[in-house]
Amino acid sequence: MQLRDLLLPLLAALWALCTIVFNGTKELNFIRDRIMFADAEGFRATLPNRKLLAWNDWLPLLMLMIFACIAFGAVSGFSPMLLAAADRLPYAWALAIFVALCACGMAITLIVTGIGEWRLMCKCLRAKNSRPKDQAKTPEAEPT
C-alpha cells in the first residue's frame, strides 16, 4: 500500500463522519424539540412519554454518535500503520492525525453540547407544567 492509496480513504472517512454527525444532529434536534415542547407539530406527548424519548431515543443516539467519532478518529490515527515501512512519510502521519483530530473535535463538540442540552431537557421535564400559564388556562390547551 502506498501513500496515495491512503489519501482517498481518509478523506472519504472524514466526509462520511461529517455526514453521520450532521444527519444525527438533525435527528437529535428533532427529538429534543419533541421532549421540550410537548405540543410541537401536533405531537402531543405525556410526561412519561417525553422522559422515554429522552432516555431511550435522544441519549443513546448521542452516545452512538460520540462513539462513531472516537472510532473514526482511532482508525484514522492508526491508518498509516497499513503502509509499508518505506512509505510511512510524515505526510501520511500528518494527514492521518488531521483526520483523527477532526473526528475527536466532533466528539468533544457533541459531548459539550450534549451536556448542555441534556441539562436543559431535564430542567424542562422537571417543570410541573411545560406550557406557559396563560396558555394552560385556555380551553384549547387542554388535551382531548
Amino acid 130: pLDDT: 47
Whole-model pTM? 0.81
Pick from 124, 120, 77: nearest CA to 97: 77
Bigger pLDDT: 48 or 25?
A: 25
The whole-number average pLDDT for the span 105-110 is: 98
Model pLDDT for residues 76-103, shown as the tens digit of each residue: 999 988 887 777 788 888 999 999 999 9
Q: Please tell me which residue, 137 or 110, carries the higher pLDDT value.
A: 110
The pLDDT assigned to 132 comes to 53
Checking if the pLDDT of 129 tops 60, the result is no
What's the whole-number mean pLDDT along residues 24-47?
85
Instruction: Check residue 82 and report its DSSP letter.
Output: G
Confidence (pLDDT) at 58: 97
What is the torsional sign of CA 82, 92, 10, 68? positive
pLDDT at 88: 77
